[in-house]
Structures are given as structure tokens and as C-alpha cells.
Amino acid sequence: MIKPLQNQLANSCLWGISALIFGLFLAPLVGGEESTQEALNVYAEAAGFQNAKQYDLAAEEWESFLKRFSKDPLFQKAQNYAGVCRLQLKEYEKAAVHFEQVVKDPKFEQLEDAFLNLAWCQYSSGQNGKPALLPSAVTTFTTLVERFPKGKFVDQALFYLGEAQYAQDKKKEAVAAYKQLVDGHKKSTLRCDALYAMGVTLEELSDYPQAGLVYDVYLEECPSSPLITEVRMRKAETILQAGELATAAKLFAEVSAVEGFAAADHAIYRQAYCAAQQEEFVIAGNLYAKLATNFPKSGYVNASKISAGRSF
């Protein structure tokens, strides 16, 4: 089966990152305590760096605050912002250390954001050379969905839960996460991504009937997607697997003719296969020859030359 033309991961994003509000500098009393002026000065300096997007300097200042003012009522906010800055710097493991501390506080006002940011750090580390952290990402995304079932990040958590499962080759679990998003969040901006990922994963599980149904929904709901031609080709594969060779061949021919389609060679190869299976050997031979001529760098060239010779 053709590999996805788009990585399973949708466009990466960072969550919970926004400019600090300067009104925070005059901290309210928390538990009868009040920040010292010295603590407020460091907090303000760190906030200034963060607002100026100087995240390296901001992270250092936040971490200085954490070392110097561990009893300050602004400590958890500083912990969270230190994580946000490390996240912006793509220092995922360092960021995760901060978010792991933040999520231990059930009363933290940005707890949902902190859980998502922690999960994202674990997932990103897992995708960048630390696969042992992927199970932690699964656990954190799952916790987020369970603790905030109607939260603002549920669809994102479900999508990347699926991605984390997929990255561990747990495809049935990945499908379950994508399906939960598709079924329960019909207005999500990630719906098309989830449909695509779900369809591809079902194909990889050889569940072509269900994959075909998912692609039908995608083709109806996501007509302007840059992946629409690929999904039409994948739909053709599900039709082929159902034994409808003529219908599949027609659809493969249509997608192979789309200008600039990156997998046109694959579409021609499968169209030729359909023709050969229907004993239309001249048509098959011409298609295999066309592939070898028009796509000299294709991975199908050698097989196509052999198949062309057998067809004529």
C-alpha cells in the first residue's frame, strides 16, 4: 500500500501560549500571603522578556524566580510560564519538567492548558529521538480527555492521542482515538485530518470496506483539501479490493491525470494492474510502458518494465 503523502501529524501547533497580562504584576493575596516587591520585580522582568518573545532570556528569569521564591504565591504561574518558554524554544524535555509540576496542582487556573502542553512536549520528544516518551504522551492526552471531557482542547488531545498510538504501531488504538474525534467533534478544525488519518490507518489494517466509508465522508466534507486527489486514489484502492476492477481503473485513470499529483505513478501502476486482471493485456502493457517512460525515477519502473513485457 502507498505510504501517506502527508505525515500522519497535522500542522504542528503550540497551545497555551499568549502574552502575559501586565496586571498580573500587582498580585492579589493568595492564602493570606502577598508577593514581595523583589519577587514582583523578577516576575515583571521575566514577563517583559516573554512578551518581547525573547524566550531564552524569559526562561532563565522564570527559572531564577522558581529558585529564589519557592514560597511565593506566583510560584505556579512562574512554573507554567517557564514551561511555555521552553516549549517555544522546542526544548521539550525541559518544558515537560515544568508542566509535570504544574499539573500536580488541581486548583491551577490554567490546568487544562498545562496538561495539553505537557502531552505535546512528551509527544514531540517521542517523535524526535525519544520514543520511550510516547506512552507518557498517550497517558497525558488520555488524562486530559477524561478530566476535561467538554474542554476546549478535547479534539486536539484526541487527534494527537491517535498520532501517539500510531507512532507506536498501535493502529487499532489510533483508529479508536480518531473515530472518537470524528464522531464527537463534527465542527473541529482537525476533522479532515482525523478522517484522513483514520482512513489510512484502516487501510494499513486491511480493513478496506471501512476505509472506503471514511474516504466517502472525506471526499464529501473536505473538497478543498490539498489531499483530495490522494484520497480519491485511496478510495480507488478500496474499490479495487472489493473486486470492482473497472470502476477502480476509471478512478485511478482520473487521479493519474491530475497535473502535479505526486503519486501519479502509483495510480498508473494500479490502473495497469486492474487492466491486467480484466485480461486487457494491451491496455495494461501500454500503461506499464507509460509509467516506465514518464516516471523514470519511480520505484515502480523495474516492475513495470517486467509487467509490460509480460503483457504484450
- The three cell numbers of residue 239 are 474499490
- Say whether pLDDT at 30 is over 80: no
pLDDT at 27: 39
Window from 19-33, 167-181, 200-214 with minimum mean pLDDT: 19-33
Distance CA(154)–CA(167), nearest Å, equals 20
Distance CA(3)–CA(20), nearest Å, equals 43
In a domain, residue 192? The reply is no
Instruction: Give 181-226 pLDDT, tens digit per residue.
Output: 999 999 999 999 999 999 999 999 999 999 999 999 999 999 999 9
In a domain, residue 294? The reply is yes
Distance CA(171)–CA(236), nearest Å, equals 22
In a domain, residue 29? The reply is no
Task: Please choose, from the candidates 128, 130, 151, 154, the residue with its C-alpha nearest in 3D space to the C-alpha of residue 142.
Answer: 154
Number of structural domains (the chain) is: 1
Model pTM above 0.95: no
144 touches 160 (CB < 8 A) = no
Give mean pLDDT, residues 83-96. Answer: 96
- The three cell numbers of residue 121 are 512536549
155 touches 144 (CB < 8 A) = no
pLDDT at 310: 87
In a domain, residue 205? The reply is no
In a domain, residue 171? The reply is no
Instruction: Give 264-275 pLDDT, tens digit per residue.
Output: 999 999 999 999
Residues spanned by the domain of 267: 244-312
In a domain, residue 298? The reply is yes
In a domain, residue 307? The reply is yes
CA angle 127, 56, 16 (to 5 degrees): 60
44 pLDDT band, cuts 50/70/90, is very high
In a domain, residue 275? The reply is yes
150 vs 10, higher pLDDT: 150
Please report how many Cα atoms fall inside a 13 Å half-sphere around the Cα of residue 69, on the Cβ side. Answer: 24
